[in-house]
Amino acid sequence: MEKTHFTQEINMTPELMARIEELCSHYPADKRKSALLPVLHEAQDAHDNWLSIELQDKVAEILNIKPVEVYEVVTFYTMYNRRPIGKYMFEFCQTSSCCLRGTEDLMDYTCEKLGVKIGEPTADGLFEVRGVECLGACGYAPMMQLGDFYKENLTKDKIDQIIDDCRDNKIILHDK
Amino acid sequence: MSKKILLEKINVPGIKTYEVYRREGGYASVEKAIKAMTPDEVVEEVKKSGLRGRGGAGFPAGMKWSFIDKKSGKPRHLVCNADESEPGTFKDRYLMEFLPHLLIEGMITSSFALGANLSYIYIRGEYMWVFKILERAIAEAKAAGWLGKNILGSGYDLELHVHCGAGAYICGEETALIESLEGKRGNPRIKPPFPAVSGLWANPTVVNNVETIASVPWIVNNSGDDYAKIGIGRSTGTKLISASGHVKNPGVYEIELGLTVDEFMNSDEYLGGMYSDRPLKALIPGGSSVPILPADLIYKTTNGEDRLMTYESLSDGGFATGSMLGSGGFIVYDDTACIVRNTWNFSRFYHHESCGQCTPCREGTGWLEKVLWRIENGQGREEDIELLWSIQSKIEGNTICPLGDAASWPVAAAIRHFREEFEYHIRFPEKIKNRNHFVAEPFSQVKHLVTKQTI
């Protein structure tokens, strides 16, 4: 049976809490729920890029809303991960313009090189390959998202370099 | 050379920074509007300009502004729609990434016109590095006194924030965007009431696209009449076009509306012709949701006139032979592209992005995807073409928001213009064994195998 519940260590650091409060200040005091999406991004970035139920409950508590209000948002938007994922998630755009420029072949190449299927992390948990819908970089196709950044005009050589850079810890995932 | 309004300063070194942007004349429209104009006068200039919403729908921006409810006494809001997600469209990101202060200037001037004291830029979550660029630019503008309390000593207050989405195309629809900005799922609302009456937190709200708002500073600085002189007919001003697919020079271009499609496609100033010099097969001029045009309808309208980059010419006066300018997402296909595979690709996108609120869209988009997938993979049945036609016709016009139409139009146009290609897939499954089946043997070479009478 597929595992559906995962746990993670929750660490709401003072820096993270300060950023969350700053985000909440962008909305009227009685509209704190409006900060939910940006706050979830911050919480996720600070917790290995995924959101356990417990972390979602914590966000609900901070924003003073019901847990279900967080669950229904987390399940709707594709950028929130509800299970542990590869540290380096290669999210290839698989929509029209990227396909015209060979994204499907590049995804096959990447999976073969890493020895994984789409949606499965590597055994060391370092990499995962996923196909996503349009990332709005059609003129720089084929491309993928890695953390907060785009890697564009991809070729097999560029993929090789990115994988090497990840293994050498040279890739910055978030712009903080 | 087309006149540049939005990208005029794009090559000035350091134009991303407040210091350089201001030195180059930035924020002049805020100064002019706040010190020398009333909010109604700013709205009037935008009306005179004929500026049409650049997000895709093309509704006159000044008219949209004039609908905002000023009598309710409730706070008003301006929300910039930067949730660019339509396949083929990547122009707003370019503007925000390289000219963030232009958007912020437009937001301040436009907020003043609308009497809004709290405004937001809603950006798609995937553009996270652009989100950070905008955050930093807003902080610079605030430090310089263009935001906050009593701007330029006028008594006008404005707070501006950037808000990120989290991966949902539907949030580009204005009421879904508002729901998302309220911290909810992006389910579109039934209209009326329109956001101008009941929008963000039930307050009067205007939602405008990035490019629309970024055009406002030029209009205020130079006058609406001068803006209306650029372009042609009811397609006034300039437009950002984002080009992708099989062209030599993909990228973002600012054109004067009225340029011929031929010049845009083939001149070295713009796309420079086809990638690998292969024959042109098809074109989508306005993003994935608008109808595809076959090669023989790309440069000429059905009346035999040159097809222009305008709202009117691309739509062929509303006939089925036309398309739309839409968001300006210009996708070009050469003869190696498979229209069936491309249509399936779009259907997968719309199925994935349907919010699931309306049954025709939730069920119909998945059904379209499924039928197209089996045709593309050699398991199509003779009746499948009519089935696709029937499904798309039952989605169109039967949903709360336009995503249903966006999902159905590409299928209808593909069948209308490329029916023989669908028939070929169904009749000759052995010839479409891999996804690149037209690379070695383009459809033009095997077209003789099918005729319109075969199915």
Q: Classify each residue of B125-142 as buried b or exposed e, where b means 16 or more C-beta atoms within 10 Å of its C-beta.
A: bbbbebbbbbeebbebbe
CA B364 to chain centre: 24
> Residue A79: which of B87, B167, B352 has the nearest Cβ?
B167
Residue B252 placed within a domain: yes
Kindly list the strands in the beta sheet with B159-164, ordered across the sheet, starting from the edge strand earlier in the chain. B159-164, B118-123, B77-82, B205-209
Contact of B408 with B392, CB cutoff 8 Å: yes
pLDDT tens, per residue, chain B with 455 residues: 678 999 999 999 999 999 999 999 999 999 999 999 999 999 999 999 999 999 988 899 999 999 998 899 999 999 999 999 999 999 999 999 999 999 999 999 999 999 999 999 999 999 999 999 999 999 999 999 999 999 999 999 999 999 999 999 999 999 999 999 999 999 999 999 999 999 999 999 999 999 999 999 999 999 999 999 999 999 999 999 999 999 999 999 999 999 999 999 999 999 999 998 999 999 999 999 999 999 999 999 988 899 999 999 999 877 778 899 999 999 999 999 999 999 999 999 999 999 999 999 999 999 999 999 999 999 999 999 999 999 999 999 999 999 999 999 999 999 999 999 999 999 999 999 889 999 999 999 999 998 755 54
Listed residues B200, B229, B258: the one ending a domain: B229
Does the domain at A14-76 match CATH 1.10.10? Answer given as yes
- Please, are residues B210 and B127 in contact by the beta-carbon 8 Å criterion? no
Residues of B in Cβ contact (< 8 Å) with A138 = 87-90, 242, 244-245, 250, 329, 331
Q: Is residue B257 part of a domain?
A: yes
Which residues, in sequence order, are CB contacts of A148 under 8 Å at separation 6+?
A173, A174, A175, B128, B129, B132
* Chain segment A68-86, per-residue pLDDT in tens: 999 999 999 999 999 999 9
- Options 3.40.30.10, 3.40.50.2000, 1.10.10.10, 3.40.50.2300; CATH for A88-167 is 3.40.30.10
| CA A90, chain centre distance (Å) | 9
Chain B, nearest residue to A31 by Cα: B182
Q: Which residues of B, range 376-435, sit inside 8 Å of A by Cβ?
A: 435
Give this prediction's pTM. Answer: 0.96
In a domain, B8, yes or no: no
Assess if residue B255 is contained within a domain: yes
Domain that holds residue B311: 232-334
Does residue A1 have a pLDDT over 70? Answer: no
The answer on B442 and B363 residing in a single domain is yes
B112 & B261 share domain: no
Regarding whether B186 and B89 lie in a shared domain, the answer is: yes
SS3 content of chain B, % helix, strand, coil (to 5): 45, 15, 40
Q: What is the mean pLDDT of residues A88-113?
A: 96
Based on the domain organization, do B238 and B225 belong to the same domain?
A: no
Residues B264 and B183 in one domain: no
Nearest CA in chain A to B242: A139
CATH of the domain at B307: 3.10.20.600
Regarding whether B258 and B305 lie in a shared domain, the answer is yes
Nearest CA in chain B to A68: B184
Domain closes at, from B229, B264, B296: B229
B361 and B314 in a single domain? The answer is no
Same domain, B328 and B348: no
Task: Give, for B255, the enclosing helix (H) or strand (E).
Answer: strand B251-256
Burial class (CB in 10 A: 0-12, 13-18, 19+), B4: middle
Domain spans in chain A, listed from the N-terminal domain onward:
14-76, 88-167
Rounded-to-integer distance, Cα B323 and Cα B311, Å: 9
Query: What's residue B322's pLDDT?
Result: 86
Q: Mark which of B214, B229, B244 sits at the end of a domain.
A: B229
Looking at the structure of chain B, the number of domains it has is: 3
B139 plus B174 within the same structural domain: yes
User: Are residue B60 and residue B126 in the same domain, yes or no?
Assistant: yes
A159–B contact, CB cutoff 8 A? no
pLDDT given for residue B341 in this prediction? 97
In a domain, B454, yes or no: no
- For residue B3, the model assigns a pLDDT of 86
Q: What is the ipTM of this complex?
A: 0.96
